[in-house]
Amino acid sequence: MHYRLNTQDTNQSKEPLRVGLTRLLPVMAGEGRNVALAVFAIIISSATTLTAPLIIAYIVDRFIATNDYQGVFVWSGLLLGVFLIGLVSSYVQSRTMGGVGRRILFNLRNAIFTKLQALPVAFFNQNKSGDLISRINNDTDKINQFFAQALMQFLSNAALMLGAGVLLVSLNVRLGLAALVPAIIVLIATRMLSGWVKRASFKSLQTLGGLSGEVQESLANFKVIVAFNRLDYFRNKFAGANQANYSASVKAGVASNIFLPLYGLAANLGTLIVLAYGIILIGNGELTTGLLIGYILYVTNFYTPMRQLASIWASLQLALAGLDRISEVLALNSDMTIVPSDEVVGDAVMAFDDVSFSYSGGQDVLSDICFSLERGKTYALIGPTGGGKTTTASLMARLYDPSAGTVRLNGRDIRAFTAEERAETIGFILQEPFLFSGTVGDNIVYGNPAYADLAGGQLVDRLDEAGLSGLLKRFDQGLETPVSASGDAMSLGQKQLIAFMRAALRNPQLLILDEATANIDTVTEKLLEEILAALPAQTTTVIIAHRLNTINNADEIFFVNGGTVTPAGSMESAVDMLLNGQMQS
């Protein structure tokens, strides 16, 4: 299955605004009341703004023209009241929507992180974690900014603009229409340019994701970079990604900034038209001075929000571009779901029935493989590098599903088991064990709910019972030895010991060790062998090893290479196969 996210083409920005806005609706689920309150506050605040010019026009024509200062005083008080109501309602609006934005940000980040956790290993093979982090951090924040600031500004400006437009035309049709001509021209231009703006915004977010990817890759591989003196190589790669982001941001900036001067020009033209035409109308006795003042205020009330809409427009495009990138992750569904099946075939702890497997887009690593593993036996997988041993082991633990055939755990299709059941039954020690920051003890009980609440002393007892406590001597402070993030301060051998204790303590039915002893000294290895020998008689062990001495105790050896898994029979023929296989590859 392909899980690769789009980090290249920018074709998805062609949808109309209406569709984009409806896609934002599910994000607002549960916020209906708050949004309704904010919209109500917007209506009140726009109404107060639109009432003010009428009151001013009335004061000028009715009281100032007649020198009635008491009237001016009373009506100015009324005007002040109207302004105060506007102030309170716009405060209510911005406070409510600030909360909505923060909650949406919180929920989106949770949703995307939960989704990432539900996705299979193949997804993480196919995508850079830096880009994913950027989606979680940056793209969600663009949506937060949109909801916290832009959406309400968008609505209040749109309401104001609409109200002012209607009043302009209804007070005087000809003067109103003349005032709106520049606006119509600018709106047509906006419509024509918006696709370009959204494409530019999308590209700028994409390149930001690419930049995070580069940072993550070079930080993760820093030691290799220093050892091979390739700082310049990564610096150049980073500079390239940084340059791409810079150019994309410049283009996005140019695209969104073009609207501001355009809208400013329209506003000035509108005012000029009203002034010139209004003076003519006053000369003809068709308009009063007060109404002209009111009119000019309405022109400002119309064009100022329109200019603000232009900058909000850019924020909206950025939010929609961010939403595209987030929706892409949220729309992915793991194809590694639970497939109910009660059919039980055979009683082997693990069996492969005609299993074939290829990585996404690659050739078959395994073709039509059949074998079964009996309880209590020890199996070894050998074969040349890249032969498919780790892949076989990964299929046993259902890190991947086969492209064809069935993997059976205790006779049932492995896909019928829940993740918890699988984790209880199978212990898998990876080639590169991963440690979490904390202590050795924390890492040993990791993922083992039964031991999560044990005090240190009790854990030592359990390790004793399992014959594992001897391994603790390899750590200065035993269970309390600190482990730094990603376990960098540990030797690889120590990491493998922790992973071994973690897996063996669960007492799994099937224990898979992928090169788990490759970095351990001979004395400790002997100790591990003894521990393995002392595991409950029912435990099946699968050992992947390059060193032949580690597989001396195997009951059966499988040779894995070229898409096949062949029983090797004796140790001697295993050695022959390995030598032949290595010579061929």
Ligand X SMILES: Nc1ncnc2c1ncn2[C@@H]1O[C@H](COP(=O)(O)OP(=O)(O)OP(=O)(O)O)[C@@H](O)[C@H]1O
Q: Which residues bind ligand X (CB under 6 A)?
A: 125, 359, 362, 365, 383, 385-391
Nearer to ligand X by Cβ, of 380 and 535: the residue is 380
Task: Report the nearest approach of ligand X to the CB of residue 493 (Å).
Answer: 17
Task: Report the nearest approach of ligand X to the CB of residue 245 (Å).
Answer: 28
Nearer to ligand X by Cβ, of 257 and 431: the residue is 431
Residues listed for the chain: 585
Nearer to ligand X by Cβ, of 11 and 385: the residue is 385
C-alpha to C-alpha distance for 181 and 85, rounded to whole angstroms = 32
Is there a contact between 384 and 368 (Cβ–Cβ < 8 Å)? no
Strand order in the sheet with 378-382: 426-429, 510-514, 540-544, 378-382, 556-561, 564-567
Q: From the CA atom positions of the chain, what is the Rg in Å?
A: 35
Nearer to ligand X by Cβ, of 283 and 362: the residue is 362
Contacts of residue 196, defined as CB under 8 A and 6 or more positions apart, other chains included, come to: 255
Task: Report the nearest approach of ligand X to the CB of residue 515 (Å).
Answer: 6
Nearer to ligand X by Cβ, of 125 and 549: the residue is 125
C-alpha to C-alpha distance for 354 and 370, rounded to whole angstroms = 5
Neighbours of 463 (CB within 10 A): 22
Task: Report the nearest approach of ligand X to the CB of residue 361 (Å).
Answer: 8
* Strand 510-514 to 540-544 pairing: parallel
Complete DSSP assignment for 480-545: G-EE-GGGTTS-HHHHHHHHHHHHHHT--SEEEEESTTTTS-HHHHHHHHHHHHTS-TT-EEEEE-
Is there a contact between 398 and 422 (Cβ–Cβ < 8 Å)? yes
Is there a contact between 565 and 559 (Cβ–Cβ < 8 Å)? yes
Nearer to ligand X by Cβ, of 359 and 371: the residue is 359
C-alpha to C-alpha distance for 271 and 295, rounded to whole angstroms = 9
Nearer to ligand X by Cβ, of 430 and 504: the residue is 430
Task: Report the nearest approach of ligand X to the CB of residue 385 (Å).
Answer: 4
Task: Report the nearest approach of ligand X to the CB of residue 432 (Å).
Answer: 10
Nearer to ligand X by Cβ, of 322 and 405: the residue is 405
Burial class for 533, CB neighbours closer than 10 Å (0-12, 13-18, 19+): exposed
Task: Report the nearest approach of ligand X to the CB of residue 88 (Å).
Answer: 59
Task: Report the nearest approach of ligand X to the CB of residue 357 (Å).
Answer: 9
Nearer to ligand X by Cβ, of 201 and 367: the residue is 367
Contacts of residue 505, defined as CB under 8 A and 6 or more positions apart, other chains included, come to: 444, 445, 448, 451, 462, 463, 466, 468
Nearer to ligand X by Cβ, of 130 and 383: the residue is 383
Task: Report the nearest approach of ligand X to the CB of residue 522 (Å).
Answer: 21
C-alpha to C-alpha distance for 219 and 228, rounded to whole angstroms = 15
Nearer to ligand X by Cβ, of 132 and 183: the residue is 132
C-alpha to C-alpha distance for 505 and 510, rounded to whole angstroms = 12
* Strand 404-409 to 412-413 pairing: antiparallel
Task: Report the nearest approach of ligand X to the CB of residue 453 (Å).
Answer: 36
Nearer to ligand X by Cβ, of 86 and 388: the residue is 388
Task: Report the nearest approach of ligand X to the CB of residue 430 (Å).
Answer: 11
Burial class for 526, CB neighbours closer than 10 Å (0-12, 13-18, 19+): exposed
E-only strand ranges, 359-514: 364-373, 378-382, 404-409, 412-413, 426-429, 438-439, 482-483, 510-514
Largest CA distance in the chain: 118
- Give 452's Cβ-side CA count (13 Å radius): 5
Nearer to ligand X by Cβ, of 274 and 578: the residue is 578
Tokens of residue 246, six digits: 């810079």
Task: Report the nearest approach of ligand X to the CB of residue 127 (Å).
Answer: 12
The residue among 532, 499, 359 whose CA lies nearest residue 432 is: 499
C-alpha to C-alpha distance for 299 and 276, rounded to whole angstroms = 13
Task: Report the nearest approach of ligand X to the CB of residue 32 (Å).
Answer: 44
